[in-house]
Structure 1
Amino acid sequence: MHVFQPASDRLFVLLAAGNLATTQAVVNHIQRDLDLEIGSQASANEDLRSCHYLFEAAAYVGAVSVAVQEKHCAALKQAGTSAEASFILGGQIGSEPHGLFMVYPQGNAVMATPQTPYLQIGESKYGKPPLDNVGNINLSLEDAGRLCLISEVLTYRSNLTVGPPFELAIVPRDRHTVAHRATFEAEAPELAAMINTWSSIQREALHRLPSFIWEQNQARV
């Protein structure tokens, strides 16, 4: 998780997955562009300061990612390794609506919507059901944060290639600031409490599911 605030009227939170060298290079390029002095010839290029809309910021991240991938693609392909990386960019610029974009390895991006108010990168299939079944735009930021965290914990339990630390950032609308940021290590008591509670509720739900027809017949005998 990387947080960029190039000006008081904008905030960006960037999540990365995929080839580590690519993701690190993209983050470094973004920071380099921000470090260039305003007014210099180099800073005339697009960066997070010059974007007026969040979709422009997502396009900028995508362009940087594609440029990095193309630079190393041939060599990595010969070694049997992919240079691909994907990103989730969230934030707000000025009074424009806040939002969330997933940036694909090809550089294009898709936006979260009220119907699908979440996006995932990396290993996503194990943690997707809670988001699909419970996630909606009426959740509080704290409940949404808990839902995202349990999604990661469930992924961790099902796939050992995924694991802590898990990072969480709460970004309220129209404040241009990270209100809360937390990192949960493997031994964090919150993670154990979450999985125990979730598992207990799932077991209870199993016993409340409708009976099979033969179970109903047996009960009448």
Structure 2
Amino acid sequence: MTYCVGMMLEGGLVFMSDTRTNGGFDNISTFRKMSIWEAPGERMITLMAAGNLATTQAVKSVLDERSKSPDDRQSCVLRAPSMFQVARLVADTLRDVIAQHANVGQRADSTFNATLILGGQIGDSPPRLFLIYPEGNFIEASPDTPFFQIGETKYGRPILVRAYDPNMSFEAAMKLLLVSFDSTLKANLTVGAPFDFHCYRTDSLRIGATGRIEATDPYFQAVSQGWGDALREALDMLPDFSLRAAT
């Protein structure tokens, strides 16, 4: 399983993904699920993937190969004229890869589906964020839907819904995302550290702050412990339920 979040802020875009692809006591694998392309001063594009590993790696490989070929302007994330066109070509690539895997070769018990979060900025256009479905269609983030989640979404969503603020700093957004990821990994063993992140500042048109946060990272440990303590304190402050009033 996977957990990835892409978030729009007034100051830019924030991305975070876990790295676990298989869960179990004796079967845990780690793969990077975030890819970044840039043409400094012209564009920056980030992609995160959840779903079948063969599918997501094939999509990334196809996009990488096209970025090295000068032949077709429309089929390359580094030469498409707008983020909408980038979303279209990534969606088409995902749909084609899924169709190829489903129709030929060995069939597995699980499907070959995958879901993607795509975000970035090209030239003078504003940063944009998209959620791309296995069928090849996609939706765009807006003030009403300012962040997207893929993978194991349900455990980390409540904190995002309650605490998200478009005017928050990148530092505050990272704290919020780490709480969301901590809540998810504690509830589901198929999501786990390390976490990859990318903070993109609007109009910089280059890769921003990136890194990997390990489970043993002191800041992550402090956030995890502090969030747990704060929840227990908040629960203790609430009035107890009255069994007598209920009878």
TM-score, length-normalised on structure 1? 0.88
Bigger shift: residues 25-34 or 135-144: 135-144
1:81 deviates by 2.3
CA distance in 2, matches of 1:71, 1:77: 11
CA deviation map 1:125-184 (0-9, x unaligned): 111111011012121122112211221121111100110110111100010122211101
Relative to its length, the structure with more helix (as a share) is: 1
User: Partner of 1:118 in structure 2?
Assistant: 147
Pairs within 5 Å for 1:43-192: 43-75=72-104, 78-192=107-221
Bigger shift: residues 13-22 or 178-187: 178-187
> CA contact under 8 A between 2:131 and 2:138: conserved in structure 1?
yes
**Structure 2 portions without partners, runs of 5+:** 1-33
CA deviation map 1:101-121 (0-9, x unaligned): 111111111111112211001
User: Partner of 1:28 in structure 2?
Assistant: 61
Distance 1:128 1:77, change over 3 A: farther
1:211 deviates by 4.9
Q: Which has the higher contact order (CA 8 A, sep 6+)?
A: 2
Bigger shift: residues 19-28 or 175-184: 175-184
The percentage of aligned residue pairs carrying the same residue is 36
How large is the RMSD of aligned CA atoms in angstroms? 1.9
User: How many residue pairs align between the two structures?
Assistant: 212
CA distance in 2, matches of 1:79, 1:49: 34
User: Partner of 1:219 in structure 2?
Assistant: none
SS at match of 2:126: coil
CA deviation map 1:41-68 (0-9, x unaligned): xx25422133222122111111001111
CA distance in 1, matches of 2:115, 2:174: 21
Matching of residue 3 in structure 1 with residue 36 in structure 2 = yes
CA distance in 1, matches of 2:193, 2:102: 29
> CA contact under 8 A between 1:6 and 1:48: conserved in structure 2?
no
TM-score, length-normalised on structure 2? 0.80
Pairs within 5 Å for 1:177-216: 177-212=206-241
Relative to its length, the structure with more strand (as a share) is: 2
SS at match of 2:110: coil
